[in-house]
């Protein structure tokens, strides 16, 4: 087959019209506009293009179904197998299922050479070469790097190919191995901004702008893309949630709540990424009752044998609720979730919150037990932490120092407590910038500010709260602390000197 000379375009409006036609296999509207010239048969176009659009929105399972539909319509359509194989690569999340991807490509041909032979044009062979590289031999890091180079060649060889440029941008974001590499993100972001300006309805362009700039320092650059993305792909739950990567970074809590409500409604009311962010947004708005209702709802929706991811999100949501609502005596704080984790250790955040809440209730023995558990986990790590270590490594060490500081404060050793908290802030400063709610459930600068304020040191407290707000803009407890520190400083300045 020969590649069509007419660029195939599928937009939300066209898909809406097609959806009204009473024919099987027609795509639905609401996934955005993609332009992808290809050699597939006319019957394969709609599911293939829908799959590409869904792929850009990380709706991987739905995208795979669309690509398989395209394969059924045109069994020899090489790019349909390329697309399904690509659904097993999640570069921003540093996840990849090479075996499943190779199984897809094996259906196209028994060897890489046979698979490449099914692609009828040099451009389509470029895409096949890229995916063969991505799932070839060597370590994941080496394959990711090699894949980015191949996609760069494909994009340069086909300067009018919007998809090649978009997937090249995504390949650059994937080079960070799950940890933000700011220079690489800025390079990818600059290219994504160009794509977004030229193709304002392209789901990948908007999506990758958001990923490149979803930290507090750069988030204003991504705000126009965040405003647009929910409109571009209204049927993609990830697109609705993804806008809130920018909104959280800017402390725009109304938008965080509204968009995650849409995302949850499109998926399920279970503990997960979208419900977790929704709960955090409620807490920052001061809607503690609704945050608690959400927590009860998702816990009630869980079934026995729930996957580890759901359990982890339930614990994170409970920790956020207890800390941000400061409901130390709430029954939620006393939920025993250990049985859900069977032989697996409870997440460090849950251990910390149990100890933190116990100390706030005056139950020191329980707080000490939590400290011992945290110390047993972080002792070896604390001696080897290096700047740039991930939150997964560093956060338990920070929380152990925080809980130890509070116990020293209770012992009447305030300077020891402050010193420990400053050690915690140094570790938190060294962590790479990341997106979303804080990885340390009680941010160390916020706790330092509260401690300094309680010790009658409002000016130092104000500095700590201001720093906390640079790391987590608009966070309610830090804002409240800064206001209290300013008021205390004002009162102190009005007291006449002796």
Alpha carbon 215 to chain centroid, angstroms: 11
Residue 205 has pLDDT above 90, yes or no: yes
What pLDDT is stored for residue 381 in this prediction?
Answer: 55
The pLDDT-based confidence of 20 (bands split at 50, 70, 90) is: very low
In which domain, by residue range, is 328 found? 251-344
Tell me, what's the pLDDT at 407?
97
DSSP class of residue 387 equals: T
Average pLDDT over residues 248-274: 96
The residue with greater pLDDT, 359 or 497, is 359
> Is 188 within a domain?
no
pLDDT value, residue 385: 58
pLDDT band at residue 17 under the 50/70/90 scheme: very low
Q: What integer pLDDT is reported at residue 68 of this predicted model?
A: 98
Q: Is the pLDDT of residue 492 over 80?
A: no
Tokens 């490449």 locate to: 116
Per mean pLDDT, which range of 6-15, 55-64, 121-130, 214-223 is the poorest? 6-15
Average pLDDT, integer, range 251-271: 96
What are the residues whose beta carbons fall under 8 Å from the beta carbon of 116, sequence distance 6 or more?
109, 125, 128, 129, 132
116 burial (CB, 10 Å; 0-12 / 13-18 / 19+) is middle
Per the domain annotation, does 327 fall within a domain?
A: yes
In a domain, 480, yes or no: no
Tell me how far apart the alpha carbons of residues 220 and 329 are, in angstroms, rounded to a whole number: 39
C-alpha radius of gyration, the chain, whole number? 25
CB atoms under 10 Å from CB of 106, counted, come to 15
Give the pLDDT confidence of 310-327 residue by residue, as tens digits: 888 999 999 999 999 999
Per-residue pLDDT, 180: 79
- What does pLDDT average to over the chain? 89
Residue 101 has φ and ψ, to the nearest 5°, of: -65, -40
Query: 257: closest CA among 218, 298, 285, 220?
Result: 285
Residue 311 lies in a domain: yes
pLDDT surpassing 60 at residue 347: yes
The phi, psi pair for 463, rounded to 5°, reads -60, -40
**Does position 110 have pLDDT exceeding 80, yes or no?**
yes
Strands 9-10 and 34-35: antiparallel
Could you tell me if residue 496 is inside a domain? no
d(CA 239, CA 230): 6
Top-confidence residue, 178 or 82 = 82
Can you spell out the DSSP letters for 197-223? Answer: HH-TT-HHHHHHHHHHT-STTTHHHHH
pLDDT of residue 27: 35
pTM for this structure? 0.88
Whether residue 228 has pLDDT greater than 50 = yes
pLDDT at residue number 129:
97
Q: Rounded mean pLDDT of 414-434?
A: 93
- The two structure tokens encoding residue 13: 């409006």
pLDDT at position 495 over 60:
no
Q: Which two tokens stand for residue 21?
A: 């036609």
User: What pLDDT is recorded for position 498?
Assistant: 57
CB-CB contact of 341 with 360 (8 Å): no
Q: How many C-beta atoms surround the C-beta of residue 10 within 10 A?
A: 23
Q: What is the mean pLDDT of residues 468-481?
A: 97
Tell me if 328 is assigned to some domain.
yes
Binned at pLDDT 50, 70 and 90, residue 282 comes out as very high
pLDDT for residue 1 = 43
pLDDT of residue 14: 36
Tens digits of per-residue pLDDT, 21-57?
Answer: 322 223 346 999 999 999 999 999 999 999 999 999 9
Length of the chain: 498
Whether 329 maps to a domain, the answer reads yes
**Cα of 206 vs its chain's centroid, Å:** 15
139-184 confidence digits (pLDDT tens): 999 999 999 999 999 999 999 999 999 999 999 999 987 677 889 9
Percentage of the chain modeled with pLDDT above 90 = 79
Show the tokens assigned to 486: 């300013």
The strand pairing partners of 35, in sequence order, are 9
C-alpha triplet 1, 62, 151: angle, nearest 5°: 55
Domain count, the chain: 1
Categorize the per-residue pLDDT at 112 as very low, low, confident or very high, splitting at 50, 70 and 90. very high
Looking at the domain assignment, is residue 260 inside a domain? yes
Cα 140 to chain center, whole Å? 21
Contact 391, 431 (CB under 8 A): yes
pLDDT band at 493 (very low <50, low <70, confident <90, very high): low
């Amino acid at each position: 087959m020969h590649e069509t000379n007419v660029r195939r375009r599928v937009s939300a409006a066209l898909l809406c019209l097609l959806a009204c036609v009473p024919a099987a296999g027609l795509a639905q509207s609401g996934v955005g506009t993609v332009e992808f010239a290809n050699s597939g048969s006319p019957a394969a176009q709609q599911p293939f293009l829908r799959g590409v659009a869904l792929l850009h929105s990380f709706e991987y399972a739905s995208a795979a179904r669309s690509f398989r539909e395209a394969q059924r319509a045109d069994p020899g359509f090489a790019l349909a197998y390329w697309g399904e194989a690509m659904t097993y690569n999640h570069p921003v999340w540093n996840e990849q299922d090479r075996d499943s991807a190779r199984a897809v490509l094996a259906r196209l041909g028994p060897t890489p050479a046979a698979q490449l032979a099914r692609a009828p044009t040099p451009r389509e062979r470029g895409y096949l070469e890229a995916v063969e590289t991505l799932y070839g031999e060597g370590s994941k890091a080496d394959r990711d790097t090699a894949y980015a180079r191949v996609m760069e060649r494909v994009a340069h060889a086909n300067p009018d190919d919007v998809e090649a440029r978009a997937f090249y941008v995504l390949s650059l974001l994937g080079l960070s191995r799950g940890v933000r590499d700011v220079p690489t993100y800025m390079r990818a972001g600059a290219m994504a901004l160009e794509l977004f300006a030229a193709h304002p309805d392209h789901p990948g362009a908007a999506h990758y702008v958001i990923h490149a700039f979803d930290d507090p320092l750069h988030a204003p650059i991504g705000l126009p893309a965040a405003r647009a993305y929910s409109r571009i792909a209204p049927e993609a739950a990830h697109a609705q949630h993804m806008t809130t990567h920018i909104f959280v970074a800017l402390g725009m809590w109304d938008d965080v709540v509204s968009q995650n409500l849409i995302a949850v409604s499109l998926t399920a009311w279970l503990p997960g990424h979208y419900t977790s962010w929704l709960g955090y947004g409620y807490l920052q708005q001061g809607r503690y009752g609704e945050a608690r209702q959400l927590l009860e709802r998702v816990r009630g929706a869980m079934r026995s044998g729930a996957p580890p991811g759901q359990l982890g999100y339930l614990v994170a949501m409970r920790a956020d609720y207890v800390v941000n609502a400061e409901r130390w005596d709430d029954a939620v704080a006393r939920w025993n979730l250990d049985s859900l984790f069977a032989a697996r250790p409870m997440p460090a955040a849950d251990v910390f919150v149990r100890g933190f809440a116990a100390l706030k209730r005056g139950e020191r023995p329980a707080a000490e037990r939590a400290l011992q558990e945290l110390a047993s986990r972080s002792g070896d790590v604390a001696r080897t932490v290096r700047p740039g270590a991930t939150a997964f490594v560093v956060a338990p060490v920070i929380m152990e120092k925080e809980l130890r500081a509070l116990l020293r404060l209770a012992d009447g050793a305030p300077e020891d407590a402050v010193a420990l908290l400053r050690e915690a802030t140094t570790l938190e400063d060294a962590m790479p910038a990341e997106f979303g709610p804080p990885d340390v459930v009680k941010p160390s600068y916020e706790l330092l500010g509260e401690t300094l304020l309680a010790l009658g040191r409002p000016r130092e407290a104000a500095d700590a709260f201001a720093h906390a707000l640079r790391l987590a803009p608009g966070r309610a407890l830090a804002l409240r602390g800064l206001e209290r520190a300013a008021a205390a400083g004002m009162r102190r300045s009005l007291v006449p000197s002796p």
